[in-house]
A = this chain, B = another copy of it.
Amino acid sequence: MKILVVGSIAYDSVETPEGKRESQLGGSASYFSVAASHFTEVGMVGVVGNDFSEDDLALYRSHEIDTSGIETVDGKTFRWTGDYLQDINTAVTHETQLNVFADFSPELSEKHAEAPFLFLANIEPSLQLQVLESMSSRPKLVACDTMNLWIDIARGPLAELISKVDVLTINEGEARQFTEEQHLPTAAAALLESGPSTVVIKRGEYGAALFSKHFNFAAPAYPLAKVVDPTGAGDSFAGGFMGYIAATGDTTEEGLRRGAIVGSTMASFAVEAFGLDRLRSLSRQNIEERFNAFVDLTRFQAIDGSNALPLR
């Protein structure tokens, strides 16, 4: 198993301008795992209730995802209800039922604790720290995500976590909130100061910006004619990003750049359908074609001998 992910497994009820779904499979660990599974073997650690469907477990397994770290406990699976009716880029939460997630305390098997790549999806920072400390040796690359709630109520543990990861993925607004810097490059610089060697700022329909001490990289979002359900876009980005890096073992600048485009590719698929519907049905050709579309979306002629700028 190449990547271990710890995060939420959820049943989401969501309404968007394109329609409405009740209790669809979701959660950060689900989106991450299915996206990453197109590139490498993923193991999930999470908790579900005894309402969790065998079909949903089968979906993970059909992507060769190791589900042995999914604990089933008495009670109901984590549930989220929300809509994107006012603004397709911003979820309005109607209800969050933590259910079995409330008492979640991730425990790693020996096999899981040896994973060379670790993604700490958005859960309480103290749990993310607990998982990181449970690893038998420091993974080759550790990435984490977070959310505004933890900046508000668990800033201390979150800051400790950020100091210990290699890659932080964070929304633009959260980056500003955490650093109290309005200007994005300044916010990114403050985050880099606090620990990670790479910060990925997620900008929704504007794509992602990758900041490191040595280089910056801008990945656009793919211009989709229709966004059906934006839920899970950030975790799908992370799944593509980490999946690519884990599969190639390439943690160099080149690997991070390409990983960000693979991440943008997977995020662009995620939002094309409700829940995991598009991510679960992708062919190799689909992914290669979309990646190539990003090449086409960003390419232009650099300055070379025969191609100088016409400067006066």
Asked if A209 CB lies within 8 Å of chain B CBs, one says: yes
Asked if A133 CB lies within 8 Å of chain B CBs, one says: no
* Given A223-B209, A225-B186: A311 touches B297 (CB 8 Å cut-off): no
Contact of A183 (CB < 8 Å), options: B188, B226, B260: B226
Interface centre among A39, A206, A211, A216 (most CB of B within 10 A): A206
Asked if A149 CB lies within 8 Å of chain B CBs, one says: no
Asked if A164 CB lies within 8 Å of chain B CBs, one says: no
Q: How far, in whole Å, are A183 and B88 apart by their CA atoms in the complex?
A: 9
Q: How far, in whole Å, are A183 and B221 apart by their CA atoms in the complex?
A: 13
Contact of A244 (CB < 8 Å), options: B185, B203, B205, B309: B309
* Given A183-B226, A223-B184, A225-B183: A39 touches B297 (CB 8 Å cut-off): no
Copies of the polypeptide in the assembly = 2
Contact of A288 (CB < 8 Å), options: B88, B188, B309: B309
Q: Across the interface, do A312 and B203 meet the contact criterion of CB distance under 8 Å? A: no
Enumerate chain B residues within 8 angstroms of A227, measured Cβ to Cβ.
183
Q: Across the interface, do B183 and A310 meet the contact criterion of CB distance under 8 Å? A: no
A259-303 CB mask vs B (1 if < 8 Å, else 0) is: 011100000000000000000000010011001100111111111
In the assembled complex, the CB of A44 is this many whole angstroms from the nearest CB of chain B, namely: 17
Enumerate chain B residues within 8 angstroms of A254, measured Cβ to Cβ.
300-301
A154-197 CB mask vs B (1 if < 8 Å, else 0) is: 00000000000000000000000000001111101100000000
Where the two chains meet, the residues of A that have a C-beta atom closer than 8 Å to any C-beta of B are 37-40, 64, 88, 182-186, 188-189, 203, 205-207, 209, 211, 215-218, 220, 223-227, 244, 247-248, 254, 257-258, 260-262, 284, 287-288, 291-292, 295-303, 308-312
**11 A-B contacts, Cβ less than 8 Å apart?**
A38-B312, A39-B312, A40-B310, A183-B225, A211-B223, A244-B309, A254-B301, A257-B301, A288-B309, A292-B302, A295-B302
